Amino acid sequence: MPASAAATPNAPAALDRIRPDVRAMRAYQVQPAAGMLKMDAMENPFRLPAQLQAALGQRLGALALNRYPNEEHFAALKAALARHAGLPEGCGIVLGNGSDELVTLIALACTRLGTAERACLLAPTPGFVMYATSAQLQGLDFVGVPLTADFDLDVPAMLAAIAQHRPALTFIAYPNNPTATLWDEGAVQRIVDAAGAQGGIVVFDEAYQPFASRSWIDRLRAEPARNAHVLLMRTLSKFGLAGVRLGYLIGPAALVGEIDKLRPPYNVSVLNCEAALFALEHAPVFAAQAAELRAQRELLVHALRRMPGVEKCWDSQANMVLVRVADSARVHAGMKTRGVLVKNVSTMHPLLTNCLRLTVGQAEENAQMLAALGDCLVPG
């Protein structure tokens, strides 16, 4: 081997160029689901009706895939989303490749480069894991404020943390993941006001809005001055398009305009745009699906609360239900052997000890999940 091709003795390894905190991380794991009933990811279980599948396929096939997305694609989708959401006056929209990208862009916008002072991102915990991950990767300090034992907001603790840390960002999942909690509006308002009083931005994550009884967008519309520091994220994933990866951010035009500067120019493909437009044109189909899932959720909660071995089943305002059992690891493994995937969230936070998160599905899916759960809760 020529000397030039040989490795230099004692040269640093290429892996040493990777940030130590990144090397210490674990990649996000998606459970293999082939041949399983997938009840672990809060997906809409309904497929498009055959007629709509054919119409969408024809429409996507006619796109000019040899061209980059252009502003016409984005403008048409933004206009459709504005109509669908009831965009408040003076607000704008930023498109994201799912909500995850929007969380990253918001965190990046608040990173303090070239200064000794680090910005802070604050959120109730347990909550969506991407808040802490994005804070770490974008160079912000993350402050998690524990919920109460029953997963309610600890308002005094939140207010104290805001006063102490003066967060640049406060994330409020509304409803929360994985607890499916929709917190008291008055309590949330106190947190919004406190964050705004010290110049912070509040981000409402409404990923589960189709299943919730209220939305903070009504407060944006009713009191724009009081919410001039508020951003609101939504996604079409829970609407029924998890495979499309389309999220959107709503907020005062000046504020979202700054976030939009960080968006990669072609972050949403023409396929994503067109599929989203098509779905919004057929919004009543998806609204009916959400209504069915809300009805199934109530039946599921009722059944879980009557099931021996379920120690606690919490109220839900999302398309998931959180339960506590005696041994979540054993029950999770047992359900998997019976062909049913659910999410064991017990290691995410001490408050979630022995908790499982169950997706709400169609009636027959819920019945199969309940049967597997009941089998695994039987002693022996």
Contact present, 361 and 349 (Cβ < 8 Å) = no
pTM over 0.85: yes
Residue 327 has pLDDT above 80, yes or no: yes
Instruction: Grade residue 2 by pLDDT with cuts at 50, 70 and 90.
Output: low
Residue 379 has pLDDT above 80, yes or no: no
Domains of the chain with bracketed CATH: 12-41+284-377 (3.90.1150.10), 66-281 (3.40.640.10)
Residue 144 has phi, psi (to 5 degrees) of -100, 130
d(CA 88, CA 82): 8
Contact present, 221 and 206 (Cβ < 8 Å) = no
What residues contact 223, with CB distance under 8 A and at least 6 apart?
A: none
d(CA 238, CA 208): 6
Q: Average pLDDT in the 166-185 region?
A: 97
Instruction: Grade residue 305 by pLDDT with cuts at 50, 70 and 90.
Output: very high
d(CA 263, CA 122): 23
Angle, helix 155-165 to helix 185-197, in steps of 10 degrees: 10
Of all residues in the chain, the percent with pLDDT exceeding 90 is: 86
Residue 1 has pLDDT above 80, yes or no: no
3-state class (DSSP) for residue 121: strand
Give 74-125 pLDDT, tens digit per residue.
Answer: 999 999 999 999 999 999 999 999 999 999 999 999 998 877 789 999 999 9
Residue 188 has pLDDT above 90, yes or no: yes
CA 159 to chain centre: 24
Cα angle for residues 34, 38, 42 (degrees, 5° grid): 140
End-to-end CA distance of the chain, in Å? 64
What tokens does 135 get? Answer: 């804070």
Q: Which of 271, 351, 336, 284 is nearest to 37 (CA)?
A: 336
